[in-house]
Structures are given as C-alpha cells and as structure tokens.
Structure 1
Amino acid sequence: MKKLFKVALVAGCLFFAGNVAQAQSKIGHIAFNQLIDQMPDTKNVQKQIQDYQKTFVDQLTALNNELQANAQGYDAKKATMTDAARTAKEAELQDQNKRLQDFQAKAQQQVSDKTQQLSKPLLDKARAAVQAVAKEKGYAYVLDTTNQDLIVSPEADNMMAAVKARLGLK
C-alpha cells in the first residue's frame, strides 16, 4: 500500500511538473520597423514612393500657382468690377480652390495606396523571416517593440540578430 502511494505521488508530481513546464511559453521581441529599415529593398521602395509622390507635388504646385495668380488678378481688379463680374470671379476662384483640394485628397489616397502596394512584399518577407525564426527557436509569442508601448512585459529574447541572419543582413 505504501509502495502504491509513493508511485501515485511520484506520478502526480511528474504530471504537475509537466503541466507547469508546458504552461510557460517562450516570448521573443523585435523592433520590426528597425528591421524593415535595415533591409536593402527599403531604399528602393522609398525612392519609388518619392518619385511617385513628386508627380503629384508638381501638379499641385502648378494648380496652386494658377490659383494664386487668379486670386491676385481678382484682387487687383475687384474695385473696378461690376457686382455680377465680381460674383462670377469669386465663384470661379472657389471652384478652382475646391478642385485643388479634391486633387490633393485624391493624390494623398493614391500615394497611400501605392505605398501599401510597394511595401507589402517587403513586409511579407520580414514577417516570414520572423515567423520562421520564431518557429525554429520555439517562440510562442513575438512582440514588436518599435513603439515601446509595453509598460510591463515578461522577460523575452531579442530576435533581431537571428532574423537579420535569416534575411542575410549584417
């Protein structure tokens, strides 16, 4: 009976110890934006986005210069204009200003869409590398420490070196 009790006690302790060991998950962290910045493709993507954005900036500058010239011409002639001509010119300037604002909003949306389109393969590549390293090293969770939003967190391993090695970065 004592022997059976000891065996049951040992079995219970092993079972409990196994559950405690299983409950502890490995946690890693990485500054994801820093990783992206260090990837060589990032410069190429940023250059493409800047070039795309420049086309809109040039058009916006031309539209704005045209609006300013029309507004200055209106200000210079407004005292000699009839009420009907003044009202028509003001409506024209308001319409031109609205077109400028609409174009600016559309340009911002198109640049945002292009940024997402060009950045997606880069982000996917980095995420895949982080996931592969996490799986390889047995991490259950990987936290992004870019924004330092965590006030208190459990001790974790920095995965930056392993992910950079996986991506072939120095």
Structure 2
Amino acid sequence: MKKLITTFSIAAGLFLTTNFVNAQQKIGHVNSDDIFANLPEAKTAEASLDTFTKTKQGEIEKMITTYQTKLKAAQDKEKTISEANKETVIKELTAAQTELQTLGKGIEEARTKAAQDISKKQTELFTPIQQKVSNMISTVAKEKGLAYVFDVATSQGNSNIAYMDGGEDITPSVKSKLGATGAAKASK
C-alpha cells in the first residue's frame, strides 16, 4: 500500500510539474499592419502597385471614351435618317451597332484582364515582403523564447485571439530588424 501511495505521489508530482512547465510558455503578439505600414519595401511596392493600377485604369478609360464617341456618332447619325437615305443610314447604323458591341465586349474583357494583372502584380510585389516579415517574426520570437506569437493586426481579423492581457509585443523588434520606421499603432 505504501508503494502504491509513493507511486501515486510521484505520478501526481510529475503531472503537476509538466503542467507547470507548460503553463510557463511565453506568449507574444505582433501587429503586422503596423510593420507593413512602416516598412520601406512595402511602401515602394504599394506605390508601384498604385502606378500599375492607374495605368490599367487609363487603358480602360481610353477604351470607354472611344466607345462613347462612337455611340454618340451613331446616335447623331440616327437623327439624320430620312426616306431618301434610309437604306444607307440603316446599313451604317447596323455596322456601328456591331462595332459598339465588339467594343463593349472588349471593355469587359479588358476589365477582367486588368483585375487579373493587378492581382498577379500584387502577389509578385508583396509575397517576398510577406515572407521576409514572417521570417523576421519567427527569428524575433525564437530570440525572445516565445512559444506563441499572435498577430493582432486588424487586417488579420483578430480571429485567433479570444483574450489578451499583456504578453510581449514584438512589433518594435521586428520593425527595427527590418528597418521599418514610424510610430507604433495602438493594438487592441
């Protein structure tokens, strides 16, 4: 019986020690929105994406202007219809209608292609930066001995944080190591 009590005590002690050690894992948080907002590479990528987007929008606007010009010309031509030129004008209007349909389809295709190109460009520009930030978060977390780091950024949805009281905010360390500048934003 004494042996059973001793074994039970040792098992209980090991169980409690394991729970105590597990309870001592350090948890930190980071605000990736703050890092990206102050990271020079992200600002450059954002400016490049904005320029690319404006170029695509300009191309589509030019197509729309052409469409509107041809539509107005067809509407003006329709007003000139008379018994004497009816056959000629109807042929011209039919041709204009076909051309307008083709232009309209081209505009929609250009919009779809532009959206795809912008998405591709965004991925091309931001994926390396996101990987760099992710790697730096891992590096800082390891340096600080953190077991978990939660991203408290609004863009991440805060979906994986039920409650946060304290913890270590490693955002300044990650920003510093990446060369990002700017004041920290308050996190929830």
Q: Which TM-score band applies after superposition, normalised by the shorter structure? A: 0.7 to 0.9
Q: Give deviations 1:30-78, integer Å, cap 9, x for gaps.
A: 2212211111112211222122223222211211111110011111112
Q: Give the TM-score of the pair, scaled to structure 1.
A: 0.83
Aligned length: 169
> Identity of paired residues, percent?
25
Whole-Å separation in 2 of the counterparts to 1:168 and 1:46: 17
Q: 2:151·2:158 contact (CA, 8 Å) conserved in 1? A: no
Supply the AA of the counterpart residue of 1:21: F
Q: CA RMSD in A?
A: 2.5
Whole-Å separation in 2 of the counterparts to 1:20 and 1:65: 70
Residue in 1 that maps onto 2:16: 17
Residue in 2 that maps onto 1:140: 147
2:33 corresponds to 1:51:
no
Unaligned runs of 5+ in 1: none
More displaced stretch, 73-82 vs 90-99? 73-82
1:154: Cα distance to partner?
4.8
Distance 1:168 1:9, change over 3 A: farther
Unaligned runs of 5+ in 2: 182-188
Q: Give the TM-score of the pair, scaled to structure 2.
A: 0.76
Q: 2:31·2:171 contact (CA, 8 Å) conserved in 1? A: yes
1:140: Cα distance to partner?
2.7
1:13: Cα distance to partner?
4.2
Match of 1:152 among 156, 162, 167: 162
SS of equivalent to 1:152: coil
More displaced stretch, 98-107 vs 11-20? 11-20
2:124 corresponds to 1:117:
yes
Q: 2:27·2:146 contact (CA, 8 Å) conserved in 1? A: yes
Question: Following superposition of structure 1 onto structure 2, how do residues 15-164 of structure 1 map, counting pairs within 5 Å?
Answer: 15-24=14-23, 25-79=25-79, 80=81, 82-147=89-154, 148-150=157-159, 152-155=162-165, 156-164=167-175
